[in-house]
Chains A and B, each alone.
Chain A
């Protein structure tokens, strides 16, 4: 995750190109000279961020190693139905005789893939819309803000259901639908942040010196909002994973793929809870929760590192925030 905010030279460049950048950047980042290093260093020493990253890496490793750990098709139907967890099947089997452990680990592949794709794509759309809004202003800002606010206001879950019902089922549909319903939130957050950077002197200097619009947006403004972009990205990935699971649980995903949401859909469909087979039901939900929790921890850590008021304080005077 930390690699996403790595492109620090551009920010340093921005600082070099216009000397006025330093006080501007200082408002957000802890160290005025090298703001990015401050964030990375802060995250590396933050226990929340480290725990979150560790959990996430474990899941990514499991997803990548799934075909090695459990070769063959995890949804193959066998005659060993509804077995309790045992030495042979660590997490038991489903009503169709599938190994729950294999299903869960293979499920990580689709769930993480969709979550990350949706997260990156909707953050990207959000960056484009937010930056364009903030940079061009006037009519373009009015129009883009209107579209953003309309999408923000349309009830997400019913819109998801309607879209999924009309589009042909498949993984592509799920991803597309989640991006359509997910980009607006990030666009709004990124626009307001970009707007405050847009009014800084170094942007005005760049405009006066005749830089192209694209360069100003992506090389001058964007690097200065890295922490907000990262927070948005994490929130979008959480949204993607959760919404995919919800959609699939309702039976509106592609029921033939193995993913955490579909595992739960089948568990519900086969009445796993009615027959008391809790082991079919628990693992996939727990995995979604752990991944979302890990991402939320990193997000929380980014907040703590970049917002000095939220940092841990030594209890000197009771109930007072350090200024």
Chain B
């Protein structure tokens, strides 16, 4: 329990740090974002819009601590302002309409990569020097060396344009209404496969190598020899004795990768024009939509922190040593 409370405190501090970063960035950067944005929209902004922006971004004559208290209050009450590029939609609404797609894409890719990668790692360590162990790691390291967006664009070009196996962009066919129908779900699934596969391809190597290296250490433990001496079936030793004890670093890595799910899918979403928060973040940056940018960043951070907290709770279940402390 104390462990959980400690972690909770830590995540709250981390969240506070990211809010503060968000608050300070526009205020201490050279140049005035409001006039930059005003110039860009060529005077089409409403006076009340400018006023709201000045407040949000601190082009404001009040003392800075007062602005800070105000800002914190707004964030805590979920008031993140109004999007500029999609005026007058509130930022929270824009974020809410997009986070689902990101979670779907990133979550699918993460689970597939972690499960397959760990299984491959277990097999590779079990048959040390076998086919999987000698052929896959160098190949996966090599694939992992490519810039991710480059592989994704290559895959899009090959499978999307030349072979025509995959749709080129978006999360579902234009004009289709999101609904719980077979038609929509299969369409969304078809749009999901290629982006998710590219993420799996580049991230699977890390899972496999990490698992392999821990498992090699576990395989040398005395209790494995003991299990063999007892004449247990190899499959049982491999999964219940060796792999189970080698899982902990992978569980930690899983928590860290959850950050990749929400944040790291940015490049995937950009290449495949997938309507998630990362794609929206880049659009907000290009459109100088500061309120949306900040809202998205805070949402992504909050999601990462929450996911990590859940993994911590799970960790208490997995590792008795944490419980006893």
A135 at the B interface (CB under 8 A):
no
List residues of B (89-139) whose CB comes within 8 Å of A's CBs. Answer: 126-129
Our pick among A281, A289, A310 for the contact of B153 (Cβ within 8 Å) is A281
A278 at the B interface (CB under 8 A):
yes
Our pick among B30, B157, B216, B301 for the contact of A278 (Cβ within 8 Å) is B157
A177 to chain B, nearest CB (A): 12
B285, A252: Cβ atoms closer than 8 Å: yes
Q: Can you list 25 A-B contacts (CB < 8 A)?
A: A153-B259, A154-B17, A154-B301, A155-B259, A157-B264, A158-B300, A162-B22, A162-B25, A162-B293, A165-B285, A166-B26, A238-B145, A246-B149, A261-B147, A264-B149, A285-B150, A289-B146, A289-B147, A290-B145, A292-B145, A293-B141, A296-B145, A319-B126, A321-B216, A321-B217
A167, B29: Cβ atoms closer than 8 Å: yes
B150, A264: Cβ atoms closer than 8 Å: yes
B56 at the A interface (CB under 8 A):
no
| Chain A hits for B266, CB < 8 A | 157-158, 161
B257 to chain A, nearest CB (A): 11
| Chain B hits for A293, CB < 8 A | 141-142, 145
B267, A246: Cβ atoms closer than 8 Å: yes
Interface string of A144-166 (1 = CB under 8 A from B): 00100110111111110111111
A157, B278: Cβ atoms closer than 8 Å: yes
B200 at the A interface (CB under 8 A):
no
Query: When A153-B14, A165-B293 are in contact, do A268 and B153 touch as well, CB less than 8 Å?
Result: yes
A226 to chain B, nearest CB (A): 20
| Chain A hits for B157, CB < 8 A | 273, 278
| Chain A hits for B226, CB < 8 A | none
Our pick among B25, B144, B216, B267 for the contact of A157 (Cβ within 8 Å) is B267
Our pick among A155, A250, A296 for the contact of B262 (Cβ within 8 Å) is A155
A305 at the B interface (CB under 8 A):
no
| Chain A hits for B199, CB < 8 A | none
Number of interface residues of B (CB under 8 A): 59
Number of interface residues of A (CB under 8 A): 53
Q: A146-B10, A319-B127 are in contact. List 18 more A-B contacts (CB 8 A).
A: A146-B13, A153-B304, A153-B305, A154-B18, A155-B262, A155-B304, A159-B263, A162-B25, A273-B153, A273-B157, A273-B161, A281-B154, A292-B145, A300-B141, A315-B129, A318-B127, A320-B220, A321-B128
List residues of A (294-323) whose CB comes within 8 Å of B's CBs. Answer: 296-297, 300, 309-310, 313, 315, 318-323
A288 at the B interface (CB under 8 A):
yes
B235 at the A interface (CB under 8 A):
no
| Chain B hits for A238, CB < 8 A | 145
B246 at the A interface (CB under 8 A):
no
B147, A309: Cβ atoms closer than 8 Å: no
Question: What is the bound-complex CA distance between A285 and B286, given in angstroms?
Answer: 24
Query: When A167-B29, A250-B282 are in contact, do A320 and B128 touch as well, CB less than 8 Å?
Result: yes
Interface string of B241-273 (1 = CB under 8 A from A): 000000000000000100100111011001000
A249 at the B interface (CB under 8 A):
yes
> Which of A156, A165, A290, A315 has the largest count of B CB atoms less than 10 A from its CB?
A165
| Chain B hits for A246, CB < 8 A | 147-149, 267
B281, A158: Cβ atoms closer than 8 Å: yes
Across the A-B interface, give the 6 residue pairs with the lowest CB-CB distance, nearest first: A155-B263, A285-B150, A292-B145, A293-B145, A289-B146, A165-B285
B263, A157: Cβ atoms closer than 8 Å: yes
| Chain B hits for A251, CB < 8 A | 286
B225 to chain A, nearest CB (A): 9
Question: What is the bound-complex CA distance between A233 and B314, given in angstroms?
Answer: 33
A242 at the B interface (CB under 8 A):
yes
Question: What is the bound-complex CA distance between A310 and B212, given in angstroms?
Answer: 10
Interface string of A258-275 (1 = CB under 8 A from B): 000100100010000110
| Chain B hits for A137, CB < 8 A | none
Query: B residues near A, CB below 8 A?
Result: 10-11, 13-14, 17-18, 22, 25-26, 29-31, 33, 126-129, 141-142, 144-151, 153-154, 156-157, 161, 213, 216-217, 219-220, 256, 259, 262-264, 266-267, 270, 278, 281-282, 285-286, 293-294, 296-297, 300-301, 304-305, 308
Query: When A155-B263, A162-B25 are in contact, do A249 and B149 touch as well, CB less than 8 Å?
Result: yes
B286, A150: Cβ atoms closer than 8 Å: no
A149, B150: Cβ atoms closer than 8 Å: no
B142, A321: Cβ atoms closer than 8 Å: no
| Chain A hits for B256, CB < 8 A | 152
Question: What is the bound-complex CA distance between A285 and B294, given in angstroms?
Answer: 31
B311 to chain A, nearest CB (A): 12
| Chain A hits for B13, CB < 8 A | 146, 150
| Chain B hits for A264, CB < 8 A | 147, 149-150
Query: When A159-B297, A165-B293, A285-B147 are in contact, do A154 and B14 touch as well, CB less than 8 Å?
Result: yes
Question: What is the bound-complex CA distance between A309 and B256, given in angstroms?
Answer: 26
Among residues of A, the one whose C-beta sits closest to the C-beta of B141 is A296
Question: What is the bound-complex CA distance between A319 and B125, given in angstroms?
Answer: 7
| Chain A hits for B149, CB < 8 A | 245-246, 249, 264
B211 to chain A, nearest CB (A): 14
A261 to chain B, nearest CB (A): 8
Among residues of B, the one whose C-beta sits closest to the C-beta of A164 is B285
| Chain B hits for A214, CB < 8 A | none
B17, A150: Cβ atoms closer than 8 Å: yes
A7 at the B interface (CB under 8 A):
no
Question: What is the bound-complex CA distance between A289 and B301, given in angstroms?
Answer: 30
B14, A250: Cβ atoms closer than 8 Å: no
A174 to chain B, nearest CB (A): 15
A168 at the B interface (CB under 8 A):
yes
| Chain B hits for A165, CB < 8 A | 285, 293
A145 to chain B, nearest CB (A): 10
List residues of A (166-217) whose CB comes within 8 Å of B's CBs. Answer: 166-168
Question: What is the bound-complex CA distance between A309 and B213, given in angstroms?
Answer: 9
